[in-house]
Amino acid sequence: MEILYILIALIVVVGVWLIALYNGLVKLNNRTKEGWSDIDVQLKRRHDLIPNLVASVKGYMKHEKELLENITKARSNAMSAQDAGNTGELATAEAALGGMLSKLQIAVEAYPDLKANNNVAQLMDELSDTENKIQASRRFYNGMVRDFNTKIETFPNNVFAGMLNFKKYDFFEVEDAAERKNVKVEL
């Protein structure tokens, strides 16, 4: 009879542990999806700001036509990658777009009339604010990915996480080597 009680207690403990494990994984999974959604929202905001910025500076920057066209192409590529949902592709496309936007900010400095234009200044401020929000969203997402992946990879969670169909997430990483280099500023 004692063996039966021990067996029942063991089954109850394992059951409670499995419920706690499952609920913890669901919670981390949802927080990771929330982090991705935050990135998605900020990237959409940036993609919506770019046409307004390009339109505002187009009249002033006749000599920078190629740069403006490259920004439009990079935006289109980033939006396509965002729609595809591939983290690696999106990171690469966003790195290219970020590089183009940095070049635009440098080019705006060369046009005093453009720099003084309130509309352009406001759009540049909004773009800068959006870039900061994207960085914060990436950090949050990557933190959630780290926590989730760690939880499903540690023993004995890894045994049950696979059975419960939980899969690892990819980090949102900068893959472009140019993005990692310091920007050369000449005064």
Q: What are the 10-residue block averages of pLDDT along the chain, 187 residues in total?
A: 91 93 94 91 88 77 76 88 81 86 80 72 83 91 94 90 90 62 44
Domain 2-180 class in CATH: mainly alpha
What tokens does 77 get? 């590529």
What tokens does 90 get? 């999106």
Residues with Cβ within 8 Å of 174's Cβ and at least 6 positions away in sequence, in order, are 91, 95, 180
Where are the domains positioned within the chain?
A: 2-180
Looking at the whole model, is its pTM more than 0.75? no
Q: Which pLDDT score is estimated for 183?
A: 44
DSSP character string of 80-100 = HHHHHT-HHHHHHHHHHHHHH
Exposed, middle or buried by CB within 10 Å (0-12, 13-18, 19+), for 130? Answer: buried
Cβ proximity of 125 and 133 under 8 Å: no
d(C-alpha 60, C-alpha 81), whole Å: 31
What tokens does 67 get? 């740069």
